[in-house]
Amino acid sequence: MKWQKSILSMIQQRQDKKVALAVDTSTNEAPAILINNIVKLFEQLKPDTILVQADFKIRSITPVKSDTIKYHTHGKSSYTLVLEWAKEEKVDTLFYITDVTGFFSEEMEKVDFELFWLVPGAFLPRVPFGKAIKVA
């Protein structure tokens, strides 16, 4: 399982950084066990990680905790608010668990922080910026 080692290493390398983990809650089609395990990894290795739950709006911003994910089934997702929040909060690294089928603001061409898209599923789409990592 190459991606687990990769994420483990990325978290360990960022112990002195401000890290946020965003979870796209617009659908419950992604494997909840997989997502909870990723959140749990952050919870154990970097407990000061900020957990952002969002779909077309930010639903919650809390300390990382794996049993708090609440999914919505409307399927609408926008990444703009979370990316703008991360910029305002001066996040060094944002990990975003999503299928990357949501929307971006047209004006957003890049972000000034490190961004990793953690994509569950067999298909790894192109991302406009940051780096996509398949986690399935």
- DSSP-derived secondary structure for the chain: -HHHHHHHHHHHHTTTS-EEEEEE-S-S-S-HHHHHHHHHHHHHH-TTPEEEEESSSEEEEEE--GGG-----S---B-HHHHHHHHHTT-SEEEEES-S-SB--TT----SSEEEEEE-SS-----SSSEEEE--
pLDDT of residue 5: 92
Return the top range by mean pLDDT from 41-50, 69-78, 107-116.
41-50
pLDDT confidence tier of residue 1, bands split at 50, 70 and 90: low
pLDDT confidence tier of residue 90, bands split at 50, 70 and 90: very high
pLDDT of residue 25: 92
pTM above 0.85, yes or no: yes
pLDDT of residue 54: 95
